[in-house]
């Protein structure tokens, strides 16, 4: 009797199990049957037959799961949703959910394999996003909000829902110290200094003192396409 083909749900569980792992063989969830070999640099090989959708899922996400080498820069993924005709908003300016349910699920999966997600004050203020993984399974990333002048209301989800720790990057000079690993609530971090045309991006000056290796970057100035 032929083995049952690996489906997308099982493939996603394997993806979550693969985060920060290399040179290992993963078993089928709930069993000791070998299912997936993972190499050193994101290469992988299935030991079982799999549906096309499951293979596609593994192809997209497993390269994002491999560990970041010690001393290397953090891995940053930029995400932007758009409609089939290439728009990031409708002609009226509406931007939420224009990329459909599958696109939203894809975004939430990106969050699930990221340790932190970064968003700007404009997007956070206008769209009041949650930046969680509620459309899939996994752990909510830490939310990092670039909000130097406290533009985002404290009542917004990022600062009030307690779904995940939030770092708010505010005005002030940043002094590197102990590694930051927020456990809960909202932590204000003076990090943006004086804003000038030549100021280096906040991320480059600040992220090296975070414990995060994988960031999901929401491009500042683009509309929030989902929450």
Whole-angstrom Cα distance, residue 218 to residue 143?
Answer: 11
Write down the domain spans for the chain.
8-65, 75-218
Q: Among residues of the chain, what percentage have pLDDT more than 90?
A: 44
| Measured CA distances, 69 to 20, 22, 63, 176 (Å) | 10, 11, 14, 21
User: Is it the case that residue 14 has pLDDT exceeding 50?
Assistant: yes
Question: Closest Cα partner for 79 from 223, 224, 219?
Answer: 219
Across-strand partners of 187? 167
Q: How many CA atoms lie within 13 A of 110 on its CB side?
A: 21
Whole-angstrom Cα distance, residue 36 to residue 45?
Answer: 6
| DSSP characters over 133-160 | -TTSSSPPPEEEEE-TT--S-TTSHHHH
Quote the pTM value. 0.81
Range 75-218: architecture per CATH: 3-Layer(aba) Sandwich (3.40)
Beta strands in 39-152 (DSSP E): 44-46, 75-79, 116-120, 142-146
pLDDT at residue 198, as a whole number: 43
Q: What is the DSSP letter of 208?
A: G
pLDDT in tens, 140-173: 999 999 898 899 999 999 999 999 999 998 888 7
Whole-angstrom Cα distance, residue 137 to residue 89?
Answer: 28
pLDDT in tens, 32-62: 999 999 998 879 999 999 999 999 999 999 9
Q: Among residues of the chain, what percentage have pLDDT more than 70?
A: 76
């Amino acid at each position: 009797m032929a083995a049952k083909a690996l489906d997308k749900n099982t493939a996603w569980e394997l993806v979550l199990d693969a985060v920060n792992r290399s040179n290992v063989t993963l078993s089928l969830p709930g069993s000791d049957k070998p299912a997936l070999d993972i190499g050193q640099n994101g290469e992988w090989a299935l030991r079982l037959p799999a549906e096309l959708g499951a293979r596609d899922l593994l192809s997209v996400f497993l390269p994002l799961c491999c560990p970041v080498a010690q001393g290397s820069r953090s891995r940053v993924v930029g995400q932007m949703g758009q409609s089939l005709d290439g728009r990031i908003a409708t002609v009226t300016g509406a931007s939420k959910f224009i990329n459909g349910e599958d696109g939203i699920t894809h975004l939430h999966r990106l969050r699930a394999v990221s340790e932190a997600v970064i968003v700007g004050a404009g997007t956070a203020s206008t769209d009041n996003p949650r930046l969680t993984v509620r459309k899939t399974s996994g752990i909510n990333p830490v939310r990092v909000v670039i909000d130097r002048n406290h533009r985002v209301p404290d009542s917004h989800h990022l600062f009030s829902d307690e779904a995940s720790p939030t770092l708010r990057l505010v005005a002030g000079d940043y002094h590197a110290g102990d590694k930051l690993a927020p456990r809960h609530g909202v932590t204000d971090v003076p990090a943006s200094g004086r804003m000038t045309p030549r100021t280096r991006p906040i991320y480059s000056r600040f992220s090296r003192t975070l414990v995060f290796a994988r960031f999901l970057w929401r491009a500042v100035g683009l509309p929030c396409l989902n929450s």
